[in-house]
């Protein structure tokens, strides 16, 4: 369960800027890597001539995976004092976008590593772009290898300016820019004495400060699966996709925006409850029961969803091809509405610089687009509520693509 509630983060950056070293350092400094196991890995790394760098930790994981032994490298966990983290693998641009839009592996935040000596490089740009495409807004920049620039505050300041302007280009803003040395351990899990000029938080403290709101405290979202009308009082059933709710709470029903309030809460098979929260499959009665509630209605409280017929989105295509404007069905939780897609910018995630014609999207390609629906749809930004922030695109009942709202 601790693992299920882990905070998923992606660690990205130009090759050799220190991704593996940082992961090893995080595992080690948080005590996640038990010392016996650490010694074992260190030993095997020394024997194979890799040296005692932290990157060996990942190599060891990789080696174990190859030999089919234990750990899946795409599932690395570590614990801060606050919570467990899951490091989401970024296997390649295409897979990353696909996994993010389908929710197969969803990073809520990212660490972008920039080498203090080399500065912003081609892949740094691409990764910033990629993060903006998949809607990750919480991004910590780690300026790594500060030991290699004599912990110079001037070097850090100059690089911070470059990073800020790169982020601005993609409509992002970094949650923090932290000068670190992954190899030495400066400002990763603990603040360093080598950079007294730095008055901010350590990288781990920055991660801990991100989106601490428990999942139950997010705005309430209840996509209706079905409505049972046994007697005069209809019971709406479904699964709480976000937040929590209690009897008497004022809610709004989308589409339409009618106000109502929770009458009773029925848990299955036959008991009643005073409240219910994220993940529970339950039934409600509503005050002023509304004949308009059907499968696909969304009952919401707190910050309202965006409801309408036009959404900006990023889509990823995984079956055949799609000509801009052709009819599709958009499925977002239990909502299923007819619509079409206007493609603005089609690209191959593996080669983001080569822009493709925007009248067609093929397997493996992604696009920034506008989703037009024939009836109102309620959605959220995936950074706020991932469950209602993504959708599947179907053609003739078969999923052909997926997307996230932007």
Binding site for ligand GDP (CB under 6 A): 13, 15-21, 53, 55, 144-145, 147-148, 181-183
Of residues 121 and 324, the one with the C-beta less far from ligand GDP: 121
Of residues 145 and 221, the one with the C-beta less far from ligand GDP: 145
* Cβ at position 329, least distance to ligand GDP in Å: 41
Of residues 117 and 273, the one with the C-beta less far from ligand GDP: 117
* Cβ at position 30, least distance to ligand GDP in Å: 17
* Cβ at position 192, least distance to ligand GDP in Å: 11
* Cβ at position 397, least distance to ligand GDP in Å: 43
- CA-nearest of 402, 398, 378 to 388 is 378
Cβ-Cβ contacts under 8 Å for 405 (sequence gap 6 or more): 135, 306, 311, 312, 313, 379, 380, 381, 382, 389, 390, 391
Which two three-digit tokens encode residue 390? 């993504």
* Cβ at position 178, least distance to ligand GDP in Å: 12
Of residues 17 and 266, the one with the C-beta less far from ligand GDP: 17
- Give the containing element (helix H, strand E) for 349: none
Prior bond of 397 cis (ω within 30°): no
Measured in whole angstroms, the distance separating CA 144 from the mean position of its chain's CA atoms is 23
**Burial class, 103, CB count within 10 angstroms (exposed 0-12 / middle 13-18 / buried 19+):** middle
Of residues 188 and 366, the one with the C-beta less far from ligand GDP: 188
Of residues 53 and 249, the one with the C-beta less far from ligand GDP: 53
**Neighbouring C-beta atoms of residue 119, cutoff 10 Å:** 16
* Cβ at position 83, least distance to ligand GDP in Å: 24
Of residues 182 and 293, the one with the C-beta less far from ligand GDP: 182
Which parts of 193-303 are beta strand (E)?
A: 220-228, 235-239, 244-246, 250-254, 258-267, 271-273, 275-277, 281-286, 298-301
* Cβ at position 54, least distance to ligand GDP in Å: 7
| 64: phi then psi, degrees, rounded to nearest 5 | -65, -40
Q: What SS3 state is found at 153?
A: helix
């Amino acid at each position: 369960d601790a693992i299920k509630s882990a905070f998923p983060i992606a660690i990205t950056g130009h090759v050799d800027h220190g991704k593996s070293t940082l992961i090893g350092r995080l595992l080690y400094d948080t005590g996640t890597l038990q010392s016996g196991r650490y010694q074992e890995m260190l030993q095997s790394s020394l024997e194979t001539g890799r040296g005692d760098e932290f990157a060996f930790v990942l190599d060891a994981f990789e080696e174990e995976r190859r030999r089919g032994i234990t750990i899946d490298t795409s599932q690395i966990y570590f614990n801060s004092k606050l919570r467990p983290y899951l490091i989401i693998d970024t296997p390649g641009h295409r897979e990353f976008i696909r996994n993010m839009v389908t929710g197969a592996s969803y990073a809520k935040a990212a660490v972008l590593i920039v080498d203090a000596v080399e500065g912003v490089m081609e892949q740094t740009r691409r990764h910033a772009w990629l993060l903006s495409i998949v809607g990750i807004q919480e991004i910590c920049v780690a300026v790594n290898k500060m030991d290699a620039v004599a912990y110079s505050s001037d070097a850090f300041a100059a690089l911070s300016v470059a990073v800020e302007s790169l982020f601005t280009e993609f409509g992002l803003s970094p949650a923090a820019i932290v000068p670190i040395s992954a190899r030495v351990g400066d400002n990763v899990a603990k603040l360093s004495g080598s950079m007294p000029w730095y008055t901010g938080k350590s990288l781990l403290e920055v991660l801990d400060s991100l989106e601490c709101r428990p999942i139950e405290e997010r705005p309430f979202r209840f996509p209706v699966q079905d409505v049972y009308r046994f007697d005069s009082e209809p019971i709406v059933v479904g699964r709480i996709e976000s937040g929590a709710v209690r009897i008497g709470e004022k809610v709004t029903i989308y589409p339409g925006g009618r106000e109502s309030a929770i009458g009773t809460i029925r848990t299955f098979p036959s008991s009643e409850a005073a409240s219910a929260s994220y993940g529970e499959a339950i039934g409600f009665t509503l005050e002023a029961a509304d004949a308009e509630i059907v499968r696909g209605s969304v009952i919401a409280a707190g910050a309202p969803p965006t409801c309408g017929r036009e959404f900006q989105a990023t889509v990823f295509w995984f079956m055949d091809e799609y000509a801009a404007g052709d009819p599709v069905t958009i499925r977002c939780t239990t909502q299923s509405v007819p619509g079409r897609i206007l493609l603005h910018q089609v690209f191959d995630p593996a080669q983001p610089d080569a822009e493709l014609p925007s009248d067609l999207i093929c397997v493996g390609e992604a696009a920034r687009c506008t989703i037009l629906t024939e009836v109102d749809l309620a959605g959220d930004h995936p950074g706020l509520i991932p469950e209602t922030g993504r959708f599947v695109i179907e053609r003739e009942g078969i999923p052909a693509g997926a997307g996230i709202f932007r």
